[in-house]
Chain A
Amino acid sequence: MTGAGAAAPHPTAASDTTHPTTASGGSSPMYTLTAVTKTYAQKKHTVTALDGVDLEIPAGQMVAIQGPTGGGKSTLLQMLGALDRPTSGTVRLGDADLSTAGDRALAAVRAREIGFVFQGFNLIPTLTAAENVETAFADASTPRAERRSRATEALAAVGLAERADHLPGELSGGQQQRVAIARALVGQPTVLLADEPTGSLDEATRDEIMDLLESVWRERGLTLVIVTHDSAVARRAQRRLRIAGGTVSELQPAA
């Protein structure tokens, strides 16, 4: 662990005495990573993206992950997001072992437990805001009316109720990210993973989006993991990790 770049957690989070204790890092772990290694074959070389990572993230914690490009941030996020399995080691989400689960089981975990927010918003350009939110119902059997009503609620929660019928191309970057956040939350996940959620936004919009993420984290008691290059964003987290060369270190341990 290094203290370089360490800063005080965001005042709001740090001083929030009403926040559930689970967010302070004192509860049972949401994630437990043990000796996680991930290697990729790249032409004639083998690239080690994660190198024996041991990490525990308690339920309800807001964690920021920083580090240089190619340091393993995205790979770590993929492990946390049940998008990939480690080459060795174990990744547990609650009681579920993600390192040995099959594709179908991983898809079910993603649908049930995890919400994603991406840097490029990743909205489907041909669907309206509400329909994009509805895509989060991975189980196609959810009744249409229920899907629509919950999508409308989710959009209202991010302040976009009136834009429900707009296509992504008709929305600003900030609005598109709000739609993406609504999509991530509509399934009521326990974990929200955000990959550079403000990377494509200007400063003012960045703050709006971070305020939104922080408020939903606070209100819903989510475990929020944000990968970011932006120290201003990272400083708002309870805990800051740095990953470089495939290894993780604590920049700012949780209070």
Chain B
Amino acid sequence: MFLTYLFRELSNRRRQTVVVAAGIALAIALVIVVSGVAAGVRNAQSSVLQSVYGVGTDITITQAAEPGDGGPGQQFAFGSGDGTTTDDGSTEVAQSTLTAARGTATFDSSALATVQGVDGVSAATATLSLQSSTFSGTLPDFSQGTGGAGTDGATGDGTGTGTPPAPPTGGADGAGGSSFDVDQFSVTGLDPAADAVGPLTSASVVDGRGLAADDAGADVVVLDQTYATGADLAVGDTLAVGGTDLSVVGIVASTSSDAATASDAYVPLDTAQALSGLTDQVSDVYVTAASASDVDALAADLETALPDATVSTQSELASSVSGSLSTASDLVAKLGTWLSVIVLAAAFLIAILFTVSGVGRRTREFGTLKALGWSDGRISRQVAGESLVQGLVGGVVGVAVGLVGLLVVNAVAPTLTAAATTAAAGPGAAGAGAAAGAGGGAPTGGGPGQQMVQATTDVVLHAPVTVSVVLLAVGLALVGGLLAGAVGSWRASRLRPAEALRSVA
């Protein structure tokens, strides 16, 4: 009787059933889409962070850079005897530096041992973020000699504007011009034996090999695929880093979507320290916590152990992600969540109001049933059962609509741009050119590379569907049905049979 009555009521009062179920379905669909997109955005953020910090990194330790000391910054200094004079009197100069990446402070590598000694640390590795800058160029003959042919190979387009009577000759264009190239790329020194944590854990070898434990101290380098392509380098080539030619032994690419890896070049830590002159210095320590739930506590312990260091957890790092991904994240967190809550509340309210109104319309029916001896409990169960089934129907339809919505999101696959501000130099800073007119004097540094360095990544948004979200949605629909049923059945049980029948009269 219960089920017969229930389904007859729902099918014969179709309009009410459809309105209530549709309201709940809409809310549930929205919850699923918002949850899916939110999960997608979280995954995208995680993907961006992994490309920078590696898989499994819970905490990073850096040290804040000291405020500027007023010095001239990075300089390429050439003495009077530097450079090679060619036959036409031009002087070719070149200098390569390898310094700590801008904005990065280095600290003693003993910090790694300190970190490893803290309880709750599962794995830790130290890296050294460096920036390689190479300056090369051609200067004209400033002496009163005769000009020769221009120097080939320079790419500048400087024009001679020097003032007679003693115009320089030679140079990049053979008429007294100059041409300079500044090439910059990021270099990360890392422990070649550490494979549990660190920036390369999110990278895979696409050519050659990765760094191995026996590479320690060797003049080898592994390149990011994006950088290698741009610089036209392949396995077997050499790359000058800090004035030393390193042999390219492998090319790596990020395993997460389209993200580039954290650095352009990876060298063994001790090699990096030797080339940069930063002996026993590191710039970052990557830490994996033994328990994911103890990350915050571990971070506090690490701050105690290393009072001068900046300890950042992954969740703090997530806030450093900017770009349209960040906008999407904000949008989902604020608009999406609130929209879901509002629509859910509205749907519940509609369900409750319709149920209460339905009970009101059925006063005679319930009065009659009470006159026949039905208990309040049986009538309440009947009303609650109807509401619950309405909620369930709404939930099932809502899940279906929500899944279709997620399919559409995934089919459209919007691309989000993310920029994670990092201490390490990002890829793609190579090949900045500069040219100066004749008589411009000797360059003394101040080249490019002063910009804030970021790892900019395009991430395709994929909104995942999880069983837990589907269960949550169905659960919410049932809660909506139960709420409506509870209010409706309370109203029905409060009807006194005599009053119910009197109201008919």
What are the residues of chain B within 8 A of A147 when measuring CB–CB?
1
A118–B372 CB distance below 8 A: no
Partner of A138, one of B8, B12, B374: B374
Q: Is B233 engaged at the interface, CB distance under 8 Å to the other chain? A: no
B8–A126 CB distance below 8 A: yes
The 10 closest A-B pairs by CB, nearest first: A111-B373, A138-B373, A84-B498, A126-B8, A126-B12, A122-B368, A83-B498, A110-B373, A78-B498, A83-B497
Q: Is B502 engaged at the interface, CB distance under 8 Å to the other chain? A: yes
| Interface of B toward A, CB cutoff 8 Å | 1-2, 4-5, 8-9, 11-13, 364-365, 367-376, 378, 496-498, 501-502, 504-505
In the bound assembly, the distance between CA atoms of A122 and B369 in angstroms comes to 9
B505 to chain A, nearest CB (A): 6
Q: Is A201 engaged at the interface, CB distance under 8 Å to the other chain? A: no
Partner of B501, one of A83, A109, A126: A83
B2–A140 CB distance below 8 A: yes
What are the residues of chain B within 8 A of A120 when measuring CB–CB?
364, 504
Given contacts A83-B498, A118-B501, A126-B8, contact A107 B368 (CB under 8 A): no
What are the residues of chain B within 8 A of A197 when measuring CB–CB?
none
A131–B4 CB distance below 8 A: yes
Q: Is A65 engaged at the interface, CB distance under 8 Å to the other chain? A: no
What are the residues of chain B within 8 A of A140 when measuring CB–CB?
1-2, 378
**Residue contacts A-B, CB under 8 angstroms, 15 given:** A78-B501, A103-B376, A107-B373, A107-B376, A108-B373, A110-B372, A126-B5, A131-B5, A134-B1, A135-B1, A135-B369, A138-B373, A138-B378, A140-B378, A144-B1
In the bound assembly, the distance between CA atoms of A147 and B5 in angstroms comes to 14
Chain A count of residues within 8 A CB distance of the other chain: 33
A81–B371 CB distance below 8 A: yes
Give the tally of cross-chain contacts (CB within 8 A).
87
Q: Contact string, A97-125, partner B, CB cutoff 8 A, digits 1/0?
A: 00000011001111110001010101011
In the bound assembly, the distance between CA atoms of A78 and B5 in angstroms comes to 27
A127–B371 CB distance below 8 A: no
What are the residues of chain A within 8 A of B373 when measuring CB–CB?
107-112, 136, 138, 187
What are the residues of chain A within 8 A of B364 when measuring CB–CB?
120, 122
A211 to chain B, nearest CB (A): 24
B124 to chain A, nearest CB (A): 66
Q: Name the CB-closest residue of B to A138.
A: B373
Given contacts A74-B505, A78-B498, A140-B378, contact A110 B4 (CB under 8 A): no
Q: Is A92 engaged at the interface, CB distance under 8 Å to the other chain? A: no
What are the residues of chain A within 8 A of B375 when measuring CB–CB?
104, 107, 138
Partner of B372, one of A78, A125, A135, A144: A135
Given contacts A140-B2, A140-B378, contact A74 B372 (CB under 8 A): no
Q: Is A242 engaged at the interface, CB distance under 8 Å to the other chain? A: no
Q: Name the CB-closest residue of B to A79.
A: B498
What are the residues of chain B within 8 A of A109 when measuring CB–CB?
373
In the bound assembly, the distance between CA atoms of A203 and B2 in angstroms comes to 38
Q: Contact string, A164-195, partner B, CB cutoff 8 A, digits 1/0?
A: 00000000000000000001000100000001
Give the one of A78, A83, A104, A187 with max B CB within 10 A. Answer: A83
In the bound assembly, the distance between CA atoms of A74 and B503 in angstroms comes to 12
Partner of A183, one of B1, B12, B372: B372
A253 to chain B, nearest CB (A): 28
Given contacts A140-B1, A140-B2, contact A116 B498 (CB under 8 A): no
In the bound assembly, the distance between CA atoms of A1 and B66 in angstroms comes to 112
B390 to chain A, nearest CB (A): 15
What are the residues of chain A within 8 A of B5 when measuring CB–CB?
124, 126-127, 131, 135
In the bound assembly, the distance between CA atoms of A140 and B505 in angstroms comes to 29
In the bound assembly, the distance between CA atoms of A138 and B2 in angstroms comes to 11
In the bound assembly, the distance between CA atoms of A107 and B380 in angstroms comes to 15
Q: Name the CB-closest residue of B to A127.
A: B8
A41 to chain B, nearest CB (A): 13
B371–A116 CB distance below 8 A: yes
In the bound assembly, the distance between CA atoms of A218 and B373 in angstroms comes to 24
